[in-house]
Amino acid sequence: DVKVTQSSRYLVKRTGEKVFLECVQDMDHENMFWYRQDPGLGLRLIYFSYDVKMKEKGDIPEGYSVSREKKERFSLILESASTNQTSMYLCASSPIQEMSEAFFGQGTRLTVV
Amino acid sequence: GNSVTQMEGPVTLSEEAFLTINCTYTATGYPSLFWYVQYPGEGLQLLLKATKADDKGSNKGFEATYRKETTSFHLEKGSVQVSDSAVYFCALSSNAGGTSYGKLTFGQGTILTVHP
Confidence of residue B25 (pLDDT cuts 50, 70, 90): very high
Residue A73: the pLDDT is 97
Q: Which residues of B touch A36 (CB under 8 A)?
A: none
Residue B71: the pLDDT is 95
For B49-96, what is each residue's pLDDT tens digit? 999 999 999 999 999 999 999 999 999 999 999 999 999 999 999 876
B97 has a pLDDT exceeding 70 = no
Give the residue ranges of chain A where pLDDT is below 70. Answer: 1-2
B73, B100 Cβ separation under 8 angstroms? no
Residue B8: the pLDDT is 77
Residue B80: the pLDDT is 97
A44 at B interface, C-beta within 8 A = yes
Burial B16-38 (b: 16+ CB within 10 A, else e): eeebebbbbbebeeebbbbbbbb
The minimum CA-CA distance between B93 and chain A, rounded to whole Å, is 6
Residue B9's closest chain A neighbor by CA? A40
B114 has a pLDDT exceeding 90 = yes
Confidence of residue B98 (pLDDT cuts 50, 70, 90): low
Q: Indicate yes or no: CB of B100 within 8 angstroms of CB of A98.
A: yes
